[in-house]
Structure 1
């Protein structure tokens, strides 16, 4: 396993260097070779992670020792292997998408740099998750931050991109500062940078370290109130990078929170309520901000804030239920949070890639200038619809499978016999239900305005379907959304958790049979229908001006939540 992992890392590193050697040449051959090398490297690393996860065998490597304390060593246990496999899956699909996407826009030199930075960014995220030493963790964390900064700045000639990039860089260094403080506190009382549980920290120091970790990892993950950089950076970056940042990089921060708060420090009860508060506020406000947004990529970015909030809600519930001895509810919370981490990585990357295809075809991110694309880009529309249904938690897709687990965990709070905690849980449950409903409403707007009705601009009317390469990566992720949802019960049981989760397979088969029977009856009893012009109230031709707009759709929500938006009537 160690050899396979090292081979994958070496391939990613060579893919990073190859485009730089051919910087002065033209043509896409060197970029294509680098991207295929990336695919090979990711296949090796993902295979290693899956072997570690399902076999329970750890992968251990010492790469280099600066001093006896400052080490670059690798340790893949089940948690690290899970996140490594997640990174590998999403990155693999993003690289397939990039085979054609990179060739559109930018200069020849810029495309070479983008191709070189892509494997460096992916490798740094993998090494952060795999590191077993706080020094190595922070070293690769900085490489991840700096490489992603340069990727965000790809279209640096735009003022919008410059502002987004600089803001992102400042916030990512703010994040690193608090992680550095937390790690130094741990080292001060343990005398080691190795990542592992310690009882040496006084309770006050543990609490300070925990809050520093929440601020550090919360900033990188986009938790409110540390979220402001996220919609700007994600929308400014190329869409393949947006997919990686939202789908994967935010999850690296979640991994760090899980590893250090739960494994190293061991959580206290009040930590659970802190996580629950951060998660609930982020989930509700994230989706409310998304409802008002008309920039397609910013809309998706705000939903990343919402879904990170859902994950953190699950982590907070785990701490609370574990403290009160409700083991089933605690397991539902933790497994639901980690399962939603995987699910969000899949459907959010799918949505960002299909959004990138739409932006490339129309030349705009403003959904008010789109419309009618379901006829122009039918495959992209279907893939975006699958992602929209998944993020809206519609059964039997994967978003529903993980959110229902956290919802079930909330219901377990009625066994606490603590009135104050029960009131908190009821409020949290109501907020969770509100957030789910608003997410569905937001994607009704997004899909309807982007793909239905008539084109609202000349560019939308001229849009054409993207190439097969830009459809293949999202198609794999769309299929994964279906598989993770339909077989969620079997997957959870297969990895060793006997939890009361709904079995979606029989329901899915029943739904499929109903659809097939209905389609067959329509075909069998089809009667030709006479068509003709309908009375149009004197209007001779419908124009896009007469169509329902994103602004009109959002207006009731803006009115209801005007205190949050700080708008005046």
Structure 2
């Protein structure tokens, strides 16, 4: 545990040289990045060491936070699941920042980013190992505030401030719910502020239900599942891409960690807990990917895929909770192991995708998909890494997304015998999610890297080496877990045992079989690559005439005749029109020989935010302004009256 605290201390320390880089000093920037990466390396070592020596996983310092609450830390296999991708993505993002958001080009915002980035990362690491309620909430608030400052890194943009405000309101609404949840939890443990052991509390009481519902609300705002996702798309889109990678790959998982940790305290919870989580997961998975398909902004699209993948994680957790209610160990281990493995996998491939998207934005200067095209010619390495992330997020072998979704499928199938209705909906829902994700990334990759350029291609070549190395690091992690998932079996079994509080006897054979499928897929890919290379070598020695692609009557192919984001997704957008409420702006041609240009543009709003929450807040703001103008009317007599009324109320109450 000591090595973990050293790692986190180094992370926090890296914020100091980051702040000193505000005048564009590359020296302080390098110092900050070296310290940050060093802290992450120490952190990965500490996580692995804890798994090998669990007897050293707790540390209580005699430093009182409040009376009765000491500075207590504890790392177990459950927190290690979240720590591993957190350290890895943080390190990759730190290295990536030297080429993407350097103080050399952006002195003020670059130093801002270097200061708050390690604070966000460090607060999440401490949160995962907090062993009492006060320390947990303190780190939760530090994470929330540092996240806000990172979202508004580009402070000159109104859009960034709007995204930051929405995030700030959402996260603190969730924090209020968490105060209530922890207060009720501590009432169940009189005289103690330490978090209870797994399965130490009865789950069938009304108080336990209140703790669960408040935790689901509070942690749900951070996790971003539907309908609590309102802050997530704008925040991810407006933050720098390495921050987006950290927020999507790690920060939203703090909400998942909270739900998993809270539910671990209760033995045999009511079965409706699991059904509630499962239903929320199914809705988030399907609607998240549908909303992603309709987006024109590459980072908003990836943000909605975070909603989708949080839904997949909740599917696994819901299965595990139902299994816990029925004492079905197969459902517990397959469901929870699948969910936890997807936590790791999503952190890796979503971090990879956001870093790849950031490289595209860095070169093209825009987030709009309609302005991309043909980028493979100038950015082949970035294209390769983006393709790898796309394969992983679609759940295809041989990369890591396949093995965790395979585990969730196995959990669903294991439940069908006793819970036929649940399995009947969950399995097709997960299959639909995978199919729609494949459609979405066929659109994104095709529009971005293939076809004719819609705008002039970047003339400076691919991304800097630091950015490419960061993407390569995360891609290597995706490939490792995809090809050798069996290496994680002991790790995942320990994490399931930490959740249930009892030894697991059911082996994770499903993970081994998933690894075999990935190996076969990888071998086939190698074979195809060899055959392709051989054919290319053979044809290179022959004179083969080359002709331009048929361009529909034009001399050569032009961007106008290519698919757009709207036309590619039209079928799905129409089918889910009831949920998307897509707005169409159509300018038809007029006359026999039209003079003016015709056009058709679409915009897909976030129905919950744009049509429900924002109108309510605008109404509240209007009422608040009227109340304020009435109370603060400038008449001294009214102010004296307020004092008199307040004094009378105090006397009555006392």
C-alpha displacement of 1:82? 2.2
Is the 2:51–2:491 Cα contact (8 Å) retained in structure 1? no
Report Cα offsets for 1:451-496 as digits up to 9, x if no partner.
11111123x4546311000111111101111111011134326765
Tell me the equivalent position of 1:455.
453
CA offsets per residue over residues 143-191 of structure 1, 9 Å max, x none? 0000010000111211111110001000010111111100001112312
Aligned equivalents of 1:106 and 1:61: distance in 2? 43
So what's the TM-score if we normalise by structure 1? 0.94
Q: Give unpaired runs (5+ residues) of structure 1.
A: none
Do the aligned partners of residues 119 and 433 (structure 1) sit closer, same or farther apart at CA in structure 2, a change above 3 Å counting? same
Aligned residue number for residue 241 of structure 2: 239
Give structure 2 stretches of 5+ with no counterpart. Answer: 494-506, 585-654
Aligned residue runs from structure 1 range 201-350, under 5 A = 203-263=205-265, 267-350=269-352
Q: Where does structure 1 differ by over 6 angstroms across 4 or more consecutive aligned residues?
A: none
Query: How far off is 1:520 after superposition?
Result: 5.6
CA contact (8 A) 1:18 1:30 kept: yes
In 1, the alpha carbon distance for the partners of 2:277 and 2:81 equals 22
Q: Secondary structure at the match of 1:231?
A: helix
Aligned to 1:67: 66
Instruction: Find the counterpart in structure 2 of residue 128 from structure 1.
Output: 127
Deviation at 1:51, TM superposition (A): 1.3
Structure 2 counterpart of 1:100: 99
In 1, Cα distance between the equivalents of 2:20 and 2:398?
Answer: 48
- The equivalent position to 1:499 in structure 2, one of 509, 516, 520, is 509
Q: CA deviation at 1:283?
A: 0.5
Who is 2:109 aligned against?
A: 110
1:565 aligned residue? 580
Rounded Cα–Cα distance in structure 2 between residues aligned with 1:445 and 1:295: 12
Preserved CA contact (<8 Å) 1:242 1:352: yes
Among 27, 30, 35, the residue aligned to 1:29? 27
Q: Deviations over 1:111-163 (max 9, x none)?
A: 21211111111100000001001100000000000001000011121111111
Instruction: Report the Cα offset of residue 390 of structure 1.
Output: 0.3
Matched, 1:549 2:564: yes
The answer for the alignment partner of 1:529 in structure 2 is: 544
Matched, 1:169 2:153: no
Counterpart position of 2:363: 361
Pair 1:234–1:524, CA change in 2 (3 A) = closer
Residues 1:178 and 1:429: Cα distance change in structure 2 (over 3 Å): same
Displacement after TM superposition at 1:328 (Å): 2.0
Contact map agreement 2:202 2:269 (CA 8 A) in 1: no
CA RMSD, aligned part only?
2.1
TM-score by length of 2: 0.82
Deviations 1:406-442 (A, max 9, x none): 11211112321xxxx4123201211111111001100
Inter-CA distance 376–531: structure 2 relative to 1 (3 Å threshold): same
SS at match of 1:548: coil
1:488 paired to 2:485: yes
Deviates more, 1:198-207 or 1:470-479: 198-207
Matches within 5 A, 1:348-387: 348-387=350-389
Which residue of 506, 509, 523 corresponds with 1:510? 523
Q: Which residue of 2 aligns with 1:478?
A: 475
Q: Kindly provide the CA deviation profile for residues 193-232 of structure 1, in whole angstroms up to 9, marking residues without a partner as x.
A: 2111343787001001100000111110001101011001
CA distance in 1, matches of 2:261, 2:556: 61
Cα deviation digits, residues 56-94 of structure 1 (max 9, x gap): 344222342133423321101111122222211111111
Q: In the alignment, what sits opposite 1:193?
A: 193
Instruction: Report the secondary structure of 2:265's partner residue.
Output: helix
SS of 1:371's equivalent? coil
Q: Is the 8 A contact 1:125 1:252 kept in 2?
A: yes
Question: Using a 3 Å threshold, how does the CA distance of structure 1 residues 338 and 568 change in structure 2: closer, same or farther?
Answer: same
* Structure 1 residues 77 and 545, CA gap change in structure 2 (3 angstroms): same
- Indicate if the aligned counterparts of 2:281 and 2:312 stay in contact, CA closer than 8 A: yes
More displaced, 266-275 or 536-545? 536-545
Kept in 1: contact 2:233–2:304 (CA 8 A): yes
Greater C-alpha Rg: 2
Sort the Cα spacing of 1:348 and 1:563 in 2 relative to 1 into closer, same or farther, 3 A.
Answer: same
